[in-house]
Amino acid sequence: MLTVSWRNRLREPALFGFYVAVAVLITYPIITALSTHFAGHPFGDSYEIARHIWWINTALKTGQPLFFQPLLLYPQGIASAYFWGSPLQLFPAWLLAFVMPLPAAFNVQVVLTLALNGWAMSRLARYLIGSVPVALAAGALYMAYPTMQGHLAAGHVGLLAQWSVPLYVLALLDLLKAETRRQSVVSGLGAGICLVLSALGSTQMPIFTTLPITAWLLVRAWRNGRDLRRIVAVLVIGGLLTAIFALPALAETLGSAASVRDEGGTVRFSADLLAVVAPSPYHPLYQSLNYNARILGVDPFEGSAYVGIVAGLLALVGWLRVRAARGWIWLGLVAWLLSLGPLLHISGELVTMRADGYPSAIALPYAALMNLPVVNILRTPGRFNFTVALVVAILAAYGMAWLLRQLRSQSRAQWGVALTLTALVLFDYQVWWRDGQPNLPVVPAAIPSEIAALREREDVRAVFHIPWQHLLVDKDALWLQTAYQQPMIAGHVTRRTPLDPARGWLLQTLDPALLDVAGVDVIILHKQWAEADLIARAFERLGTPLYEDESLAAWDAPAVTSVLAPVVAIPGAESISRAEAYVFLPQPGAIRLKADVEGSAQRFQMVIDGVAFAEWALNGALSIEEHITLDAGYHTVALAATPECEMSGDPTLECRDLQADMRITVEPSP
């Protein structure tokens, strides 16, 4: 492994300090609002991650369970082995939170993680090339790569922990060169540990980074039995150690609700074919372009993959002029091809073709992999661009080294050229701008004192945030909970709440008796994400709020003045091939369902609580009436086309639609 002599013992702190400065620049203005805002877009995960950091810190202080969430999904709580599987998502922020405000702990972790990415890449570049100025530039390129900045704005703190990947490559290459048993053991253990670390920011990340890298090295070493054995040994050691962390989290994921586990989005979260040449639409030099906004969208989180002008030219020089660099291009090309996902996108649109009159998308290699075990729970092929970032940094480092050799300049001149090229790369790569300066999106950390005061109330069993089904409401609610510290009806550990939709929709009718039975003592309306009819219903049924501002309104639950009665909710359909209604019965009883059904679906069925109840043929339109006996409790009654269209709205599919006007009445008890 690369060692540091005492003569150069200050080099590493100096390099790390440089990368901290670069991270501060990339994340500006967070350095000016360290304790008042979180780095991240309002549509990102910053609030969610901050809440989970708060919980780990609080659990350690109070002796509560680290991997169970008693304050979420009242009254049963939610298991959170996910934290065990992804500790680098929350560490070191939960440790820093012992000595600094939670927003500052979150932001410091972001800056340190980015700086570590740069430092680790510089170590790999020095190992490959030996030039410190070149290594410094390679590290800056890697940490600032637009894919990193996209996930930074999305609040994907765990995904940013990429520093183990360059170190893994370094250790593997060192292992393949080792001549003695001691060297091979040390390098092999180092590679195995780095393989584990690559999974600790997110258990999915090895699929996007270290495993493609390992596969590439296996192909290169195919005819060398010694090298093959060494790489396989690393995979075995690293895989066994990774399983300690990954298996509990994976079991929890596979055992969760399908809506949480299989949310979908594989096509949506794939990279565009032209993303590698699409700079930020916010960049002052590129904001007048049209194609980049079409490709990246309004919020370029998952789709950012811009190689860059300066970095791209340096990488091209490295590939063309340096023999040692040429093998890396194949790893980069394969990762880039996989990042495009299962279907080809160009300029923000799915590319379609017609064969014998049938429309079809153009399938890509990822389509052959997406249904494999474990891979089938991934939904973000664009994250293969993390590996592309590594390859671009390595190729650009080779290209810069070749350029410096041609200049035959002195050390100071080499440093000058390297720093100049680094500055140009950083300028070209900066994704987030406003008013001509770097401006990372941030979200405020302030919580109204009236909401925080709920913490002191002993009469609050649970808080219900509405609209309950909105993903951003659940994220905002998680952050508010860090202040009021009472149980909440919904909440989630990752992606979306596992709350039973029947329970959520029926409680959102704001029936006083049902709210009381469910344990709801406070209702908080998030006005920004609520429809006008929900806002009107909340004020009509709940009266004057105990607190209100431009974005929130909070009420104590209304007094119960009637006995618990059946409740029915029929929200608008969210699918073109399925309609749902929800029923609560305080005791066993029967309902009468009438529905006028029409659409292009050939058949449809009635599904009650996930079990098929009846099926009909549909020839354009049909009216049905059914009497259904139900147990006491919450129930979901659905009318769904068979088969349902799983990719609603995809222009490459001719979905069989179904519309149903449903009416449900509860029949009197005999």
Distance CA 641, CA 648 (A): 12
Q: Are strands 520-526 and 462-466 parallel, antiparallel or unpaired?
A: parallel
Q: Which residue has the tokens 């000058």?
A: 416
Distance CA 166, CA 184 (A): 18
CB 85 within 8 A of CB 249: yes
Q: Cis link prior to 101 (omega < 30° from 0)?
A: no
pLDDT at 651: 46
Homologous superfamily assigned to 567-666: Galactose-binding domain-like (2.60.120.260)
pLDDT at 642: 85
Distance CA 571, CA 78 (A): 26
Q: Which residue has the tokens 């063309």?
A: 320
Distance CA 103, CA 96 (A): 10
pLDDT at 206: 94
Residue 119 makes CB contacts below 8 A (sequence gap 6+) with 12, 15, 16, 19, 139, 163
**pLDDT by residue (tens digit) across 1-49?**
445 455 567 788 999 999 999 999 999 999 999 999 999 999 999 999 9
CB 450 within 8 A of CB 546: yes
Nearest to 30 by CA among 505, 634, 497, 444: 444
**Which strand (E) or helix (H) includes residue 189?**
helix 181-197
**pLDDT by residue (tens digit) across 185-242?**
999 999 999 999 999 999 889 999 999 999 999 999 888 889 999 999 999 999 999 9
Q: Are strands 547-548 and 552-556 parallel, antiparallel or unpaired?
A: antiparallel
Distance CA 533, CA 424 (A): 52
CB 663 within 8 A of CB 594: yes
Kindly report, as residue ranges, where domains of CATH 2.60.120.260 are found in the chain. Answer: 567-666
Which segments of the chain have a pLDDT < 70? 1-8, 254-264, 409, 644-655, 669-670
pLDDT at 263: 60
Distance CA 662, CA 664 (A): 7
pLDDT at 654: 59
CB 467 within 8 A of CB 508: yes
DSSP for 108-122, please give it: HHHHHHHHHHHHHHH
The number of beta carbons lying within 10 Å of the beta carbon of residue 340 is 23
Q: Cis link prior to 643 (omega < 30° from 0)?
A: yes
Distance CA 315, CA 423 (A): 16
pLDDT at 327: 92
pLDDT at 151: 96
pLDDT at 7: 54
pLDDT at 262: 54
